[in-house]
């Protein structure tokens, strides 16, 4: 009888690679169906008129043309969002860094203080929004009642054109606990021998902060800056719950207007066009920040 040819066995590396691909297959299928698929569909819909009820109808660049030419709320919502980003992001970094510096001290009961400052960041955003509606109530709210004790008449806060966006920013800064933890981790990663050497050389506290702490913490601050800008452009829930875009659309942020176009007016194609414009803006700002990072971000490993 003729001998059977020997069976070929996969090598260990090939079996490991096959096992890896099999484990990745469910994630890959989910990514294609639930992430990449909707992204491509939104790009296609941005060139169409689609109201969910009727079939999509191709319009070309009409949605984008209407956004930039006749829709004044597009510019208004983008302006409101730009205001929020311009003030919230730097204040967010300053508050987070300041709290981290305070909570990096070696005093008794520090874990308790860290927990108290971190708790607001884990409160659900809807619950926080409702709480701050009560706090900022013009007549009997906590802040205006406290100001009245000192004879100061508090503003209308959320009902004021002047104070509505600052109120949103103040409420968002209340939840800076997550960023504080990131800064605190970065501070504790700064080598202590650098401070000791600077102190021996006669550097005071401010000089040690400016020439050691900030440079060593710059990668952490850069990371927070990127996430802060991206997250700030997507502000939605607080405005939706607290003001609904008012008063006089002073808190009509971009994502809130996009939501109205999509789920109130059922103009899905128009909303998809808005989403892609926001994507391009955020992508451009992120690339600019990465381009400028070499001027102020210090990476210790690159200096060796």
Q: What is the pLDDT of residues 109-153, one digit of tens each?
A: 888 999 999 999 999 999 999 999 999 999 889 999 999 999 999
Residues 67-303: name the CATH superfamily.
MetI-like (1.10.3720.10)
The Cα 168–Cα 175 span in angstroms is 12
Q: Is the pLDDT of residue 74 over 80?
A: yes
The Cα 240–Cα 257 span in angstroms is 10
Give per-residue pLDDT as tens, 179-225. 999 999 999 988 888 888 998 888 888 999 999 999 999 999 999 99
The Cα 254–Cα 236 span in angstroms is 8
CB atoms within 10 A of CB 96: 24
CB 205 within 8 A of CB 153: no
Confidence band of 5 (pLDDT split at 50, 70, 90): low
| pTM given for the model | 0.90
| Per-residue DSSP letter, 8 | P
Confidence band of 303 (pLDDT split at 50, 70, 90): low
Q: Is the pLDDT of residue 227 over 90?
A: yes
Average pLDDT estimate for 39-55: 92
**Residue 8: its pLDDT value, please?**
61
**Residue 244: its pLDDT value, please?**
92
Helices marked H in 48-141:
62-69, 72-102, 110-122, 125-135
The Cα 187–Cα 104 span in angstroms is 8
Confidence band of 11 (pLDDT split at 50, 70, 90): confident
């Amino acid at each position: 009888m003729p001998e059977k040819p020997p069976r070929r066995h996969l090598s260990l590396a090939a079996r490991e690679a096959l096992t890896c691909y099999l484990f990745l297959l469910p994630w890959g299928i989910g990514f294609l169906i639930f992430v990449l698929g909707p992204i491509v569909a939104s790009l296609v819909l941005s060139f169409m008129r689609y109201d969910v009820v009727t079939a999509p109808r191709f319009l070309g660049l009409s949605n984008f043309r209407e956004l930039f030419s006749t829709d004044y709320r597009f510019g208004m919502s983008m302006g409101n969002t730009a205001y929020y980003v311009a003030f919230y992001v730097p204040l967010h970094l300053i508050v987070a860094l300041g709290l981290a510096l305070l909570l990096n001290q070696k005093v008794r009961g520090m874990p308790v203080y860290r927990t108290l400052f971190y708790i607001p960041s884990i409160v659900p955003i809807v619950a926080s929004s409702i709480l701050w509606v009560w706090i900022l109530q013009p007549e009997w709210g906590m802040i205006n009642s406290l100001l009245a004790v000192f004879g100061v008449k508090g503003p209308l806060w959320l009902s004021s054109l002047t104070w509505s966006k600052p109120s949103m920013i103040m409420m968002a800064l209340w939840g800076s606990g997550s960023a504080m933890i990131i800064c605190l981790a970065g501070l504790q990663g700064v080598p202590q021998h650098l401070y000791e050497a600077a102190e021996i050389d006669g550097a005071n506290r401010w000089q040690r902060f400016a020439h050691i702490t900030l440079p060593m913490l710059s990668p952490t601050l850069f990371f927070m800056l990127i996430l802060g800008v991206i997250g700030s452009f997507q502000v939605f829930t607080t405005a939706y719950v607290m003001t609904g875009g008012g008063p006089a659309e002073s808190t009509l942020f971009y994502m809130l207007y996009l939501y109205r176009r999509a789920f109130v007016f059922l103009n899905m194609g128009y909303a998809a066009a808005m989403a892609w414009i926001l994507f391009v803006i955020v992508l451009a700002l992120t690339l600019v920040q990465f381009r400028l990072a070499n001027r102020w971000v210090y990476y210790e490993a690159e200096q060796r």
